[in-house]
Structure 1
Amino acid sequence: MDHLQRPHFVLALRPVEAAVRAARDTVRAAMAGWNRQDVNGDLELITSELVTNAIRHATTITLVVSLPDDTTAMVEVWDDNPEGPQAPLADLQAESGRGLMLVGALSRSWGWRSTANGKVTWAQTVTP
């Protein structure tokens, strides 16, 4: 099956804090609509972290949620910043800066790639 025939959902977001909740709500609704489970809310948390990074570093953001196969869910965050995400050095006293570590810990795989207008940061999780 072609990837465009697989279930997917696209949502343009504004670079404001409220976008994080909208992105989580979208992921939850999409997964429920596709009758797939987001075990422990991992995909929602991953989405929150990726969208938060985009809000801090970009001016345009697009969320794509998809099911590339029968056991995988994927979230992609497209933005207009061409620089790839960088995990800061861990500061155990800092109130932020652990987002990419969480993404790495909760996802099966994750990464980013350049696009003509910026980049896309993505993560995949296993879904029953």
Structure 2
Amino acid sequence: MTLSGTLVSTNPTWGGLEPSATHRDQLMGPRSMFAGRRCAGATACRLPRDPAAACQARRFTRALLGAWRIDEDSCEVAALLVTELVSNALRHGTGAIVITWTATGSGVRCGVADASPCPPRPHEAGTDEESGRGLQMIEALSGSWGHQPLPQGKIVWFELSVRRPPQYRL
């Protein structure tokens, strides 16, 4: 698996957790987005405005949360939700997309930032519409979600409780 993107920040330790060989290779292997760097865990990734960004976000999320030893079901929910937020940033936002992951007391928090100041607007999709249900899905599957303005844009975030909270300090 190849991850691509630009590493924004790192943390030099796993907070006492050693990643599995698979996740170590995905995060730090010779073909990863962190190739040649001595970093143990990424907390953020900058993605290009490209249709492949949602796929890159899913890979980044699965590799990072796997390295944090988050349970597989939570990893899959997180990958689904980050895909939705990145897709929204591609469709409605502007500028580069930055994904951030933070360990919380009971789980993880993901933020997806872009340069558009316009907040997300939940939409009541009709039965025949093909889109418009993403924020409803985020609300249904996450513990909480919201958005905050940034000096140049906004960040849309969600939090997930996980069965095994990460032993990770940022």
Q: Provide TM-score, normalisation by structure 2.
A: 0.68
Report the residue type matching 2:101 in the other structure: V
Report the residue type matching 1:13 in the other structure: L
Residue 9 of structure 1: aligned partner = 43
Q: Matches of 2:96 and 2:72 in 1, distance apart? A: 26
Conserved 8 A contact 2:44-2:101: yes
Query: Once superposed, what is the RMSD of the aligned Cα atoms?
Result: 1.8
With a CA cutoff of 8 Å and minimum separation of 6, indicate the structure with the bigger relative contact order. 1
Residue 86 of structure 2: aligned partner = 51
Deviation at 1:59, TM superposition (A): 2.1
Residue 102 of structure 2: aligned partner = 66
Change (3 A) 1:82 1:38: farther
More strand as a share of residues: 1
Please list every run of 5 or more consecutive structure 2 residues that lacks an aligned counterpart in the other structure: 1-9, 16-40, 164-170
Conserved 8 A contact 2:125-2:131: no
Percentage of matched positions with identical amino acids: 30
Residue 32 of structure 1: aligned partner = 66
Q: Matches of 2:136 and 2:50 in 1, distance apart? A: 23
* Residues matched between the structures, number: 124
Structure with higher Rg: it is 2
Q: Matches of 2:124 and 2:132 in 1, distance apart? A: 8
Q: Matches of 2:146 and 2:155 in 1, distance apart? A: 9
